[in-house]
Structures are given as C-alpha cells and as structure tokens.
C-alpha cells in the first residue's frame, strides 16, 4: 500500500501518526511480532492472518481541539506551547469528516465564542467530536457532532446557532453540547445537553445497526470493527453455546452479532450483555428490538455482575472487551473457577491481555488475530479465542 504524504508530519506540526513514514506492510509485521513477543503462551500455529486497516480515509471519529481566536479558529490538536494546531486536512480521517471540518470552523467563527486558551485558562470552546456513520457524506452518511464548552454561555450560543449549523452541515443527525467547566486534561464533563436527534446508526451492512448516543463508545475504524465482530461471531458459532454473556458490551456489538439462532434453528442462543453505561444499554436494547434479536442487556459493572451471579445460571461462553486496564484479577479468578467453556477476549492493550491470560491457566488459546484498528501507530486490537484445556 502506498503511504499518504502528510505535510503536518513532515513539518513537525503533528506526530500522532508516528509510523506514517514506515511502509504499511512493515508496520503490520512489527505489530504481529510485538504480539508474539508479549504473548509467548499463544502457539504460533493459532495466529490467523491479520486484518489490515489501510493507510488513509479510515478513521470514523475526530476528536478536535478548538484553538486560535474567535474569528480564526483552529481544529486539530494542541501544540507544545498550548496553542492550537489546525489539522483539518488530516488524511486518516474519513472523507466525510474532512469535508465537514471547514464548515464547522466557519460555524464556530460565526458564533463569536472564544476558543479555550489552555495556558491562560480562559475562553469557551474546548473540543468538537465528529463521528461519521458508514457510507460517507456523498452516500448519505450521517454525522454526530459534540461540542465541549466551558459554561452556559457556550451552550446558549450553540443552541441559538443550531439552525445555521444544520444549514452548514445538513447531514448532522445528532448534535449535543457537553459542559466541562474545570481546567482538566479530559475530553468531556458530566453534563450533556442534546440539541438534535438522539443517536447515530452505525450500519455495518449486516442487518444489525448499532445506535451510538453522544457518550457511547465505538471502535474508531468501521471496516476493522466489522471484521472484528464477524470473527467473534464465527468463533461463537463454532462452539455453538446455548448461552453467552457479553461483558463490557457497550452498545452491544459483540452480543448482537453472536445472537444468531443455533445451526438448524433448533434453539435460540440466550445472550446477555452487561455494561455500566445506562445510555449504551438503552442503545443496545433499541438495536436488538429493531433487528428482531432476542438478546437482553443489563446495566451493571461487569465484574460485580459476574461475582454475584447464580452459579446455576452461568453461561457456556463469555465475550469480554474491557478498557485498556484489562479485566483484572477478580474477573480472571471468577472465569478460572467457572464452568464457562469458551472465552473470547478482545483487547486494545496487549500488555494487560498478557497479564490476564496468565491468570486463567485452565484456558488454552485456540485462535488469535491482530486487527489493525489504529494504522500508523503502535496501537492495535487483538482478539483471542480461549477454550477449556483438555
């Protein structure tokens, strides 16, 4: 694959894509070697061919820092001096997001709101988060726009400006404003006000649209996410469990794709998703209802839910997709002592995955695969299928 020429990287303005000058095949081989080094207990024969992420136009979400001045905003990142660095032509973003960013900049300039000045701790506009549904703008793809502001002043101005925003970006399906009054190195605050719509439908082309609310998590690479869900569903189908739990289920991606009828239609698989975010659970329930899938979803902490479960009602298979810290010692110990036959573990942090695999010695890796969710960086997604040894 030919690498894109990134003017931002060459000029030293942005180094986020640290590997962008490394041939893509070499990037992927380095990630595969790193996985094998960090996961020595995974037999070489179990690794499936990696899923490539491509070299440009792949990212479905932009988290843009608002910088500059009221009449001349930048949308991108903060430089070392705390000033905004404009990255509106970043080539890893989807074409639909790139087309929307200049319009967003013009809209924000028209509001007159000052960008937040990090060194001086003053100003109003902090971030804009843009998420694109599959399809792209030219194909009717919709956008979710989240503005992060410092105070009620910013909220009021954006509410007044909503008609102008809709004219500028007519495919905006969801618009919300998040209030972050504190000077903290975080991307959002506790309060979210929705101005338009409720959720963005991420239709992966498989009949199971996933509904994202403004604070929901979804993988940043739609194409690789599609392959990840399909791989997990294939692993589940091979084991054909009567029951499955999806812990840390988010908006239900793994659960909904694994909740097909058993071969021959003799029985429906009992699928339960567990997620601590109430908004994500509402989205998962909506997706299940619209797709006619008989999966259930509950709001709970994954570890606490498992530890409190009735031993007589435990599942045959479990899917886990935890944050970077991994599933932790308690949940590992629960799995080790449980009758669960199959565990599918999707991880964005190979180090925590390695630690957790060491804590479940009763399971053996049957297959493993690298999913290059984050091209041009050293980050990756790794999924492993574990089965009871012997």
- Distance separating alpha carbons of residues 189 and 182, to the nearest angstrom: 8
Q: How far is CA 335 from CA 31, 112, 248, 259, in A?
A: 28, 55, 15, 21
- Distance separating alpha carbons of residues 50 and 156, to the nearest angstrom: 47
Inter-residue contact 154 to 124 (CB < 8 Å): yes
Phi, psi of 385 (to 5 degrees): -105, 120
Phi-psi region of 240 (alpha: psi -120 to 50; beta: other; left: phi over 0): left
Listing DSSP states for 346-373 in one string gives: EES-HHHHHHHHHT-TTEEEEEEEEE-S
Inter-residue contact 330 to 321 (CB < 8 Å): no
Sign of CA dihedral 187, 191, 193, 197: positive
Mind spelling out the 3-state secondary structure of 315-354? CCEEEECCCCCCCHHHHHHHHHHCCCCEEEEEECCHHHHH
- Distance separating alpha carbons of residues 244 and 24, to the nearest angstrom: 37
- Distance separating alpha carbons of residues 213 and 143, to the nearest angstrom: 12
Active site residues: 348
Strands 143-149 vs 72-78: parallel, antiparallel or unpaired: unpaired
């Amino acid at each position: 694959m030919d690498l894109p020429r990134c003017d931002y990287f060459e000029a030293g303005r942005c180094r986020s894509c640290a590997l962008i000058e490394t041939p893509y095949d070499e990037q992927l081989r380095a990630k595969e070697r790193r996985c094998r080094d960090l996961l020595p207990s995974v037999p070489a024969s179990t690794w499936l061919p990696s899923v490539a992420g491509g070299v440009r136009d792949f990212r479905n979400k932009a988290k843009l820092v608002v910088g500059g001045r009221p009449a001349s905003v930048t949308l991108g990142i903060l430089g070392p001096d705390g000033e905004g660095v404009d990255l509106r032509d970043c080539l890893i973003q989807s074409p639909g997001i790139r087309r929307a960013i200049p319009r967003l900049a013009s809209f924000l300039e028209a509001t007159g709101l000052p960008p937040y000045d990090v060194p001086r701790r003053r100003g109003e506009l902090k971030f804009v988060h843009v998420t694109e549904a599959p399809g792209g703008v030219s194909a009717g793809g919709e956008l979710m726009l989240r503005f992060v502001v410092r105070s009620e002043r910013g909220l009021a101005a954006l509410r007044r400006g909503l008609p102008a925003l809709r004219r500028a970006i007519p495919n905006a399906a969801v618009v919300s404003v998040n209030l972050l009054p504190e000077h903290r190195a975080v991307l959002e605050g506790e309060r979210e006000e929705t101005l338009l719509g409720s959720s963005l439908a991420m239709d992966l082309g498989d009949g199971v649209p996933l509904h994202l609310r403004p604070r929901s998590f979804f993988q940043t690479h739609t194409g690789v996410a599609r392959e990840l869900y399909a791989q997990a569903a294939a692993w589940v189908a091979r084991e054909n469990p009567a029951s499955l739990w999806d812990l840390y289920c988010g908006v239900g991606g793994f659960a909904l794709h694994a909740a097909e009828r058993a071969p021959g239609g003799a029985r429906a698989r009992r699928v339960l998703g567990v997620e601590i975010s109430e908004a994500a659970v509402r989205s998962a329930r909506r997706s299940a209802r619209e797709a006619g899938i008989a999966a259930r979803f509950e709001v709970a902490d994954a570890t606490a839910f498992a530890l409190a479960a009735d031993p007589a009602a435990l599942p045959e298979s479990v899917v886990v997709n935890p944050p970077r810290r991994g599933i932790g010692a308690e949940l590992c110990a629960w799995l080790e002592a449980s009758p669960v036959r199959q565990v599918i573990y999707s991880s964005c942090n190979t180090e925590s995955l390695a630690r957790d695999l060491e804590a479940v010695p009763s399971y053996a890796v049957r297959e493993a695969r690298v999913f290059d969710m984050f091209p041009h960086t050293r980050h990756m997604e790794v999924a492993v299928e574990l089965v009871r040894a012997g």
